[in-house]
C-alpha cells in the first residue's frame, strides 16, 4: 500500500523526493509549485486530515521549510488501514521575498495555520483571503519567529526601557 503510494507519487509529479522519515511516517519533499496538486492528490488518496502546517527557519541555508503533516481519520484500532503511513510533506521557500501558495482550497483548516505563519515568519501566502494579524498586537521589524530575531535584545530595547513610575516616599 505504502510503496504503491510512493511510486504513484513519483510517477505523477516531477521533482518529488522521497525520504525515509522516521519509522512511521513517509517523508516527501516537493517543489513549492507542487504543494497544492500534491495535497489534492493525497486528499484523494484518503489523507483527509491536515494535522499541522509548520515552518522551520533554516537560516544557514537561507530558506524556510514549510512542513505539512497529513494523516487520516480512521475508526480502526492500531495502525489504521493496514499500515497506511502518515505523510510529512516538505517544501522550501527562499528567505528573501518568501511566498508560497495557499492550501485553503484543499483543507479549510489551513487558514489559521497559514495566517499564523504569515505573522510569525513573514511568509506570504498567495491567494489567502485574510492575512490579517492573528496573535500579535505590535508590529515587529523582523517577524519574531525568525532565527535572527533576538527576543532578549527586544525585551531590553522595548520593555526594559519603559521607566518605572516614580513614587513619593
Partner 1 sequence: MRELELYFGPQHLGMVGNFSITLNVEGDRILKATANPGYLHRGFEKLMEGRTWIKNFPMVCRINVVEPDHMEMVYAMGVEKLAGIEVPERAQFVRSIYLELARVGSHLFGLWAYANMLGFDTVANWAMYHRDLVLDLFEELTGGRVYHIYIWPGGVRRDFPEGFTDRMVETLHSIGGCVPDYDSTFFNNTLFSERAKGIGVVSREEAVAMGGTGQAIRATGMKYDVRKVDPYAAYDKVAWEVHTREDADAYSRIWIVRDEMIESVHMIFNLIDAMPEGEVYNRIPNPLKWRIPAGETYVRCESSRGELGLYLVSDGGEKPYRVHFRTPSYSHGLTILEKALVGANIADVGNIMISLYVVAPEIDR
Partner 2 sequence: MDRNQLMKWIKTPTKMAHKYSLNAVYFCTGCGIIEVPPTITTRWDAERFGVVATATPRHANLFLITGYVSVKTLRAIIRTYEQMPEPKYTVGFGSCTINGGMYWDSYNTINQLDKYIPVDGYIAGCMPRPEAIFIAVTHLWTLIDKDMADGYKRYRKNYGAYRANQEMVLGELEWPPLFPTEIHTNTGEGETDATAATPTMTEREKDDELA
Cβ-Cβ contacts under 8 Å for 167 (sequence gap 6 or more): none
Neighbours of 43 (CB within 10 A): 16
Name the H helices within 23-158.
Answer: 35-44, 110-121, 151-158
Which one of 78, 82, 138, 141 is in contact with partner 2 (CB under 8 A)? 138
Decide whether 7 or 133 has the Cβ nearer to partner 1: 133
From 165, 62, 68, 77, select the one nearest 125 (Cα to Cα).
68
Which residue, 77 or 166, has its beta carbon nearer to partner 1?
A: 77
- Does 151 bind partner 1 (CB under 8 A)? Our answer is yes
Task: List, in sequence order, every residue forming a beta bridge with 100; answer none if it has no partner.
Answer: 125
Alpha-carbon radius of gyration of the chain: 20
Q: Which of residues 109-128 bind partner 1 (CB under 8 A)?
A: 109, 111-112
Q: Is 76 in the site for partner 1 (CB under 8 A)?
A: yes
- Report the candidate in 110, 93, 120 with the shortest Cα–Cα distance to residue 39: 110
73 counts as binding partner 1 under rule CB under 8 A: yes
- Contact segment (CB under 8 A) with partner 1 among 2-10, 28-36, 93-101, 102-110 equals 102-110
Q: Are 100 and 67 in contact (CB under 8 A)?
A: no
In the complex, the residues that contact partner 2 under the rule CB under 8 A are 136-138, 140, 144, 149, 151-152, 154-155, 158-168
In the complex, the residues that contact partner 1 under the rule CB under 8 A are 22, 25, 48-52, 54, 56-57, 67, 69, 73-78, 80, 86, 88, 107-109, 111-112, 133-137, 144-145, 149, 151-152
Amino acid at each position: 500500500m505504502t510503496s504503491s503510494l510512493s511510486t504513484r507519487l513519483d510517477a505523477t509529479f516531477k521533482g518529488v523526493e522521497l525520504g525515509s522519515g522516521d519509522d512511521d511516517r513517509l517523508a516527501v519533499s516537493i517543489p513549492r509549485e507542487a504543494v497544492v496538486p500534491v495535497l489534492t492528490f493525497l486528499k484523494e488518496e484518503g489523507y483527509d486530515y491536515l494535522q499541522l502546517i509548520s515552518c522551520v527557519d533554516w537560516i544557514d541555508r537561507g530558506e524556510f521549510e514549510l512542513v505539512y503533516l497529513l494523516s487520516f481519520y480512521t475508526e480502526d484500532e492500531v495502525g489504521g488501514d493496514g499500515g497506511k503511513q502518515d505523510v510529512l510533506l516538505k517544501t522550501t521557500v527562499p528567505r528573501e521575498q518568501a511566498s508560497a501558495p495557499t492550501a485553503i482550497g484543499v483543507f479549510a483548516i489551513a487558514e489559521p495555520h497559514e495566517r499564523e505563519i504569515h505573522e510569525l515568519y513573514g511568509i506570504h501566502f498567495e491567494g489567502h483571503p485574510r492575512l490579517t494579524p492573528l496573535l500579535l498586537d505590535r508590529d515587529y521589524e523582523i517577524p519574531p519567529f525568525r532565527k535572527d530575531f533576538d527576543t532578549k535584545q527586544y525585551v531590553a530595547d522595548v520593555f526594559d526601557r519603559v521607566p518605572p513610575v516614580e513614587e513619593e516616599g
